[in-house]
Amino acid sequence: MRIIRHQQQPYPDSLREQEGMVADILNGAEAPVLILTEHPPVFTIGTSGNDTDVLNREIDGESIDVFATGRGGEVTYHGPGQLVCYVLADLNNDKDLHRHVWRLEEMIMCTLADFGIESVRSERGIGVWVGSNKIAAVGVRCRKWITFHGIALNIRPNLKHFSGIVPCGMSDAPVTSMHAQGVRAERKNAEDTIIRHAEELFR
């Protein structure tokens, strides 16, 4: 598995990077690839979302960009303190997108378990939950069975920023983070743990 780490990227730059890598994989480049990054504050709207789920574009005096994207899902937030894990995988030999999403969730659930946080899947929707609070949101896209986008883990983002949206279309689904759960994890430690589990799950 190829690992790429960025300290921070504007969301459009990240999307262009992934689009280029999808083209490379279709042309024979090796997959899978795991990109680990953060974004400046941004609300992203998936193919099932719309502008009405963006409630407020300025929170705590900070203006938050809005970007329509081609990933699946509804509206979510990305920002500092949230580790975004983009997995570009070739599913042509295993055409099961649900299985791919399961692996993304499993990667985060195993990581959280290593930090002493018990997490679950929920019938309410894809992603990773701690009790009734979502700690990691999933949004993926697949082109000719090459996946991109991925899963975002809340380590210590500004949780107030989530109040500007209806997250994943659920107004009664509060979010949480590792720090809110009392685990003062740092990004480097979380990254190292995620990489270990990713290399086991995505081959």
- pLDDT for 70: 82
- pLDDT for 128: 98
Helix (H, G, I), strand (E, B) or coil at 52: helix
User: Which of the residues 85, 110, 142, 168 is marked catalytic?
Assistant: 168
**Is 110 among the residues known to form the active site?**
no
Helix (H, G, I), strand (E, B) or coil at 194: helix
- pLDDT for 143: 96
pLDDT tens track, the chain, 203 positions: 999 999 999 999 999 999 999 999 999 999 999 999 999 999 999 888 888 888 888 888 889 999 988 887 888 999 999 999 999 999 999 999 999 999 999 999 999 999 999 999 998 889 999 999 999 999 999 999 999 999 999 999 999 999 888 765 566 668 999 999 999 999 999 999 999 999 999 98
86-97 pLDDT, tens per residue?
A: 999 999 999 999
CATH code at 2-201? 3.30.930.10
- pLDDT for 119: 98
pTM, 2 dp: 0.94
- pLDDT for 10: 97
- pLDDT for 171: 62
Task: Give the residue extent of every domain in the chain.
Answer: 2-201
Average pLDDT score, the chain: 93
Assign residue 149 a region: left if phi > 0, alpha if psi is -120 to 50, beta otherwise?
left
- Report helix, strand and coil shares of the chain as percent, to nearest 5: 30, 30, 40
C-alpha–C-alpha distance, residues 176 and 147, integer Å: 27
C-alpha–C-alpha distance, residues 80 and 42, integer Å: 10
Contact 176, 135 (CB under 8 A): yes
